[in-house]
């Protein structure tokens, strides 16, 4: 499934990639095995020692109580305390969140836990499988009822594009207004430069040069002043490297402001 864009209360767009059906299934299988092992351990360690002296009705009641504890109450408690995690989700790098991207609360976990006991165990996993196949973000029935879904928390590492500003373009890049470049053009330029950086001898330089010429022509209308005469690849390298440098400086300033604020809030009289 694709990612869902969520707008937070601070008007910040977040891309939350939904977990796939396979990873959700693997996570659920691990959780089910863990909770059944817990139930078996409780029975072996002490449940039947007490139950042998009971009448059959009390034995059945105690067995049902332990089953509800292990298969309903424990999963609800774990998910609530870990804000949407479980053993299976931890292994697969998943987390359950609300549809708006926020952390799940007790009521979400209760709905998911109660619905999960019926849909997972009473249908032998068939209900969540069918529901996940026909919902947008691989939701099971408990997710539909609670307004939640699972997101991927781990992402494969991406090598940063470290192309420097060409020396001949350095002075121009310092004063250029490049803040109005559309994101789609910047994305295409980044992909082209990454191909140039990582492609090695397999790169078709003629096709790459033609593509860079087209992207550079589109960018020129959004940049001022005009750049000095150079190749389109050097021009794109200068623009994207300078964008990276300015973004790094902006994030550094924001981190410094956050650090100063954190220091003020943790000193008297606020501490």
Phi-psi category of residue 97: left, alpha or beta, with phi > 0 → left and psi -120 to 50 → alpha: beta
- Kindly tell me the sign of the dihedral angle through the C-alpha atoms of 130, 133, 136, 140: positive
Q: At what angle do helices 183-198 and 232-265 cross, to 10 degrees?
A: 110
The 10s digit of each residue's pLDDT in 45-99 is 765 556 566 677 777 788 888 889 999 999 999 999 998 999 999 999 999 988 8
The 10s digit of each residue's pLDDT in 185-205 is 888 888 888 888 776 667 778
Dist CA 78 CA 98 (whole Å): 17
Q: 18 burial class (0-12, 13-18, 19+ CB within 10 angstroms)?
A: buried
User: Which residues sit opposite 5 in a β-bridge?
Assistant: 15
Residue whose structure tokens are 């299976």:
88
The 10s digit of each residue's pLDDT in 247-268 is 888 888 888 887 777 676 556 5
Give backbone dihedrals phi and psi of 220, rounded to 5 degrees, phi first: -60, -30
CA-to-CA dists, residue 204 to 14, 61, 77, 245, 268, angstroms:
36, 73, 57, 29, 63
Dist CA 244 CA 240 (whole Å): 6
Determine the pLDDT at residue 109: 93
Annotated domain spans of the chain? 3-152, 167-265
Residue 222: pLDDT above 70?
Answer: yes
The 10s digit of each residue's pLDDT in 135-192 is 888 899 999 999 999 988 875 554 555 678 888 888 998 898 988 888 888 888 888 8
Determine the pLDDT at residue 26: 92
The 10s digit of each residue's pLDDT in 205-220 is 888 888 889 999 999 9
- Mean pLDDT taken over the chain: 82
Span 18-38, average pLDDT: 91
Report the largest interatomic distance among the alpha carbons of the chain, rounded to a whole angstrom: 94
What letter would DSSP give residue 122? I
Please report, rounded to a whole number, the percentage of residues in the chain having pLDDT higher than 90: 27
Residue 9: pLDDT above 70?
Answer: no
Q: What is the pTM of this model?
A: 0.56
Q: Are strands 148-152 and 94-98 parallel, antiparallel or unpaired?
A: antiparallel
For 209, what's the count of Cα atoms within 13 Å in the CB-facing half-sphere?
Answer: 5
């Amino acid at each position: 499934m694709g990612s869902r864009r969520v707008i937070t209360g601070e008007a910040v767009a977040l891309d939350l990639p939904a977990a796939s059906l396979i990873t959700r299934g693997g996570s659920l299988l691990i959780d089910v095995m863990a909770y059944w092992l817990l139930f078996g351990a409780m029975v072996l360690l002490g449940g039947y020692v007490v139950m042998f002296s009971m009448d059959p009705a009390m034995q059945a009641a105690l067995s049902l109580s332990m089953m509800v504890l292990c298969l309903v109450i424990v999963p609800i408690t774990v998910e609530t305390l870990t804000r949407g995690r479980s053993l299976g989700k931890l292994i697969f790098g998943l987390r359950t969140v609300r549809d708006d991207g926020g952390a799940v609360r007790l009521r979400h976990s209760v709905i998911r836990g109660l619905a999960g006991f019926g849909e997972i165990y009473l249908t032998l996993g068939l209900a969540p499988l069918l529901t996940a196949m026909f919902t947008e973000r691989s939701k099971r029935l408990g997710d539909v009822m609670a307004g939640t879904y699972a997101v991927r928390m781990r992402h494969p590492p991406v090598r940063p594009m470290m192309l420097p500003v060409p020396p001949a373009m350095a002075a121009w890049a310092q004063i250029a207004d490049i803040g109005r470049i559309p994101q789609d053009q910047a994305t295409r330029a980044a992909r082209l430069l990454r191909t140039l950086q990582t492609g090695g001898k397999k790169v078709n330089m003629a096709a790459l040069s033609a593509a860079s010429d087209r992207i550079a022509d589109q960018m020129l209308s959004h940049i001022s002043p005009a750049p000095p005469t150079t190749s389109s690849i050097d021009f794109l390298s200068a623009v994207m490297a300078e964008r990276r440098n300015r973004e790094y400086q902006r994030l550094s300033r924001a981190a410094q402001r956050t650090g100063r604020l954190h220091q003020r809030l943790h000193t008297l009289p606020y501490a």
